Amino acid sequence: MQRDMKIVEVDARAIDVGYFNVKYTTGRKSFESKSLISAHMFPSLAPRQASNKRTTSAVEIASDGCVVEIEGISYFVGRDAIFHSSGKDPRKVLPEYSMSKKYTALMRGALYYMAKDAGAAQELVIDHLVLGLPMNNYGEMAEALEERARGEHLVNSPGREGSMLRITVNRASVMPQPRGSLFNFGVENPGFTSKPAWSLVVDAGGGTLDWFLSHGRTPNWERSGAYPSSMLACSYAVADMIDPDWKERFDIVQQIDEAIRRRAATFTVGAREFDMRKYQSAVDEVLYESVQAMLAKVEDTDNLSTILMTGGGATVYHDFIAKNYPKLRHSMVLEPDPIFSNVRGFQIAAELYHPQKTDQIR
């Protein structure tokens, strides 16, 4: 809905800021007579920009993204962020990640792409934005992230130096990340969340392995949780065996991650090819440690009717659990599009939002 020539308004949007990628929605699009949630992503890179660097200079050929200024520091975020980076991007899985300048810059990068999709040249207003947090810091960080997301955000598009794009978020809510997948799967499979049975969502993200246990629509928070070791730790385990300095190289970590997720026989760095069989035991050790932590918290698994595998590492964890915990195999369901499952669930929650129904989102 357009209020005037300068301000564009949209009802609902969603963002999921991860350690590997930022996922976001641009509303619903019509495809083959269906209304589908449009979801996209860009790498979780936010390289700092020199204060004297002109965003419209000739070297800014790869400029799919925007410049965000936070507390006097400028960051370039978006699909072309790697071309603005020094090549090093150290990552640590920290509980306060959502309160960091990098997280805020990445969130604003997603808002920029939403504005661009909506055709908002000067200002976009989002009525309700839903974001996600891992289970291990959701309780402590949800309200602070909601407060950080609400209000006015300014970004500067390359080629429009001095002309700021304003995005205003009227309302913001935060969900546990795996609950987003539950929302999405429930819509795709009517009756799933309403049946009186136990289900477990296993969300294999970049930084954490999250799990969410529920009986129908009722969550069991005591048996839900997260472990701060997942796909990023798998890549780091491989890097440690070859060159520990690689852990600060986003592009190399990404190559290792893709090799793990695609079960590739080899991966290449520069002119060298590496045999993944040499490093599989290190990957399996990370997987075993995180899965054991999950099972210790969940405890009884005999009455699980569905184990929903989602997240960017869903296939890796699905195959590992099926092989090493065969009694769980019959309950396991692999999400058809696990990378975007959470953020699509957040979008559904934003669409269903009503002031009197906040508890349904939380």
- pLDDT tens-digit series, residues 305-343: 999 999 999 999 999 999 999 999 999 999 999 999 999
Q: What is the pLDDT of residue 158?
A: 64
User: Confidence class of residue 167 from pLDDT cuts 50, 70 and 90?
Assistant: very high
The pLDDT tens digits for 40-53 are: 999 999 999 876 45
In the structure, what pLDDT confidence band is assigned to residue 157 with cuts at 50, 70 and 90? confident
CB 11 within 8 A of CB 128: yes
Please give the average per-residue pLDDT across 137-148, as a whole number: 94
Question: For 296-328, b where at least 16 C-beta lie within 10 A, e where not — what string?
Answer: ebbeebeebebbbbbbbbbbbbbebbbeeeeeb
Alpha carbon 180 to chain centroid, angstroms = 11
User: Among the listed ranges 121-125, 141-145, 196-200, 357-361, which one has the minimum average pLDDT value?
Assistant: 357-361
pLDDT in tens, 240-254: 999 999 999 999 999
Which has more confidence, 362 or 86? 86
**What pTM was computed for the model?**
0.90
